[in-house]
Amino acid sequence: GPKVLQIPSHQIIDMGQMVTLNCDPVSNHLYFYWYKQILGQQMEFLVNFYNGKVMEKSKLFKDQFSVERPDGSYFTLKIQPTALEDSAVYFCASSLGQGADYTFGSGTRLLVI
Amino acid sequence: TQTVSQSDAHVTVFEGDSVELRCNYSYGGSIYLSWYIQHHGHGLQFLLKYYSGNPVVQGVNGFEAEFSKSDSSFHLRKASVHWSDSAVYFCAVSGTGGYKVVFGSGTRLLVSP
């Protein structure tokens, strides 16, 4: 079936540096999401994005976080600057509409050292 | 605010056994209820969803779930599990007017041969 591609699969970065996580969503999907999962724990909602705008974000979506999807290219999550507590697996998802099934990527494992 | 509760963090059964994974939710309006499966090191995969109509919904690989408004539940069942069903299962809820899906804490299912 259709897939969400996340690049890179792993990223190690020094604390304080900037990182960009890339997501190539399903081509006809309109809603995009980022979730954060610390090892063995729950999937935590970060943000969703539709029509070029952030529609909703959680308390975990700190001021250092930003998202964009310029000109229908990758849907990106940027963290600047990174902190140790940002270490987690970040999952991108997309859906055709509200309430529709999500298609998830395989995640980007981020380690901040 | 919608919440999802999965009371069992771990469930262990033998291959061929039946299994029920429990999910209770709280939400004041119309909702979508879903189940997702996460194999180790992968993103979440959609299993099934309920919005209205027949309270028993069929999903992939022999899974089904039953919605109960009186119990605020959406338990997942399978009549005969296979070792490949070992994974973490997440129950999820989203409001029809909202943009985000909220996940439960997950139930790790281990199927012993």
- pLDDT tens, residue by residue, A10-68: 999 999 999 999 999 999 999 999 999 987 778 899 999 999 999 989 999 999 999 99
Stretch A81-94: mean pLDDT? 96
Best residue in B101, B103, B108 for a mutation probing chain A (most A CBs within 10 Å): B101
Q: Count the domains in chain A.
A: 1
Q: SS3 for A8?
A: coil
Of A56, A99, A102, the CB nearest to B51: A99
Distance, in angstroms, between B59 CA and closest chain A CA? Answer: 12
pLDDT band, very low/low/confident/very high, at A101 (cuts 50, 70, 90) = confident
Distance, in angstroms, between A33 CA and closest chain B CA? Answer: 8
Model confidence at B96: pLDDT above 70: no
- pLDDT tens, residue by residue, B44-83: 898 999 988 999 999 989 999 999 999 999 999 999 999 9
State residue A100's pLDDT score. 74
Q: Sort out which chain B residues have CB atoms less than 8 A from A41's CB and list them.
A: 105
CATH number at residue A66: 2.60.40.10
Structural domain span for residue B94: 3-112
CA–CA separation, A82 and A65 (whole Å): 9
CA–CA separation, B84 and B67 (whole Å): 25
Q: Count the domains in chain B.
A: 1
Q: Let me know: does B35 contact B59? Beta carbons within 8 Å.
A: yes
CATH number at residue B73: 2.60.40.10
pLDDT band, very low/low/confident/very high, at A71 (cuts 50, 70, 90) = confident
Distance, in angstroms, between A42 CA and closest chain B CA? Answer: 5
Of A45, A56, A99, the CB nearest to B32: A99
